[in-house]
Amino acid sequence: MSVDFGPAGIPFMTEKEYNETFETHKSSCSPSAWNPRAWGRKRWTGALLGISVIVAAVVVPLTVVMANQYPSYQRLEYSLVDIYSGERFFDSFDYGNGTEATHGFTNYVTKDGAEWSNLTYATSNEAIIRVLPRDHTGAAGRPTIKILSKQRYTHGLFIFDIGHVSYGCGTWPAIWMSDTDLDIWPSHGEIDIIESVNQGNKGTQFTLHTTNGCEMSVKRKQTGKVLSNNCLNSTNYNMGCAVRGAPDSYGEELNKNQGGVYAMEWRTAGIRMWFFPRNRIPSSISIGKPEPSEWGIATADFPSTKCDINSHFKNHKLIINISLCGDWAGAPSVYNEEYGCQMECTEYVGSMPEAFKDAYWSINSIKVYKAPNS
């Protein structure tokens, strides 16, 4: 077969060949090619494959970016603004009194009652806060202490030098921060810095409690064990979003090691907490110029990725207390089963005064630092 060429070497087509070629291309470009109702299985398969490729190209990188979001904890210049220490330690606090909102077998005494029964006292080196260790329990519960700072805080770096933590069956000690107005809580949040129950041999818990809209199912940099991610107070039996430290971060083991230092940094980027045993306290803390950027990975990290820290936490008082029994420490699943404590909690607390000889806080100092633009 010979092929004729037209001008410029272009192959020459007969009229028949031209018409056949035109009809072929016409069918492929007809309106039905763009009408899904006219598509066959082959065309549908190709279209779906193309859509899948496009979606994957968009969604996968976006998912990776979101999973790796993390706030910038750039260095801040902190300055000391408050110190709680020495013989005047308790002058900076008000005393709570009465019973506990968490249904504890707890009778918080007034300042006069605390001084009379020697439940709070301070020396040049330490402040003591304790449960009454003798037989004097009324219907409301065993006498104990709750103090609240007169000063309020929004943001800051808080350093707690603790010589001895309270522990023992039936106890629920905590050092925490919150706006305690009854018509506010937990609208302004709660930050639990040191908290445990009963023997406390599982380590301290670092916890946030908030209203809705504060989640921690995000990238975090911490050494502690995550117990829950939703900070909404009404979830997980009011657990909030909790992280547990190592066993030596609380209880008898901590006390045998002469205590340690807990630090909490609260800023727009997030809330971070550390625990340092006595023999591993950072030098920047020891010399009074704390620098979190030098401390390594936090024990508990609560970044602002899915939680607007500034809207959930504000106007807090510093609170120190030792509750007894109640919703957490006294729950049978915790008191009896998890910790192996004997009797029913309120019966034990009411009838065993000698068991509370170790139920006290010894606080060497609390220092509060602030930074501009935090």
27 pLDDT more than 60: no
pLDDT at 184: 81
Q: Of residues 87, 100, 126, 190, which has the active-site annotation? A: 190
Indicate the range of 139-143, 151-155, 180-184, 327-331 predicted with least confidence: 180-184
Q: How would DSSP label each residue in 126-147?
A: -EEEE---SS--BTTBEEE-EE
Residue-wise pLDDT for 239-294, tens only, equals: 999 999 999 999 999 999 999 999 999 999 999 999 999 999 999 999 999 999 99
Say if CB 25 and CB 17 are below 8 A apart.
Answer: no
Given the residues 100, 195, 265, 291, select the one marked as catalytic.
195
Reply yes or no on whether 265 is catalytic: no
Range of weakest confidence among 133-147, 180-194, 201-215: 133-147
User: Is 100 tagged catalytic?
Assistant: no
Which of the four pLDDT bands, split at 50, 70 and 90, describes residue 64?
low
Q: What's the angle, vertex CA 255, arms to CA 82 and CA 334, rounded to 5? A: 100
Average pLDDT along the chain: 89
- Whole-model pTM: value is 0.83
Helix (H) or strand (E) holding 62: helix 41-67
Residue 21 has pLDDT above 70, yes or no: no
Question: What span, in angstroms and rounded, lies between the C-alpha atoms of 86 and 84?
Answer: 7
120-138 per-position pLDDT tens digit:
999 999 999 999 998 766 6
CA proximity to 307, closest of 207, 222, 206, 232: 232
Confidence of residue 168 (pLDDT cuts 50, 70, 90): very high
Joined together, the tokens standing for residue 205 give 């818990």
**Stretch 109-122: mean pLDDT, rounded?**
95
Tokens found for residue 328: 């957490």
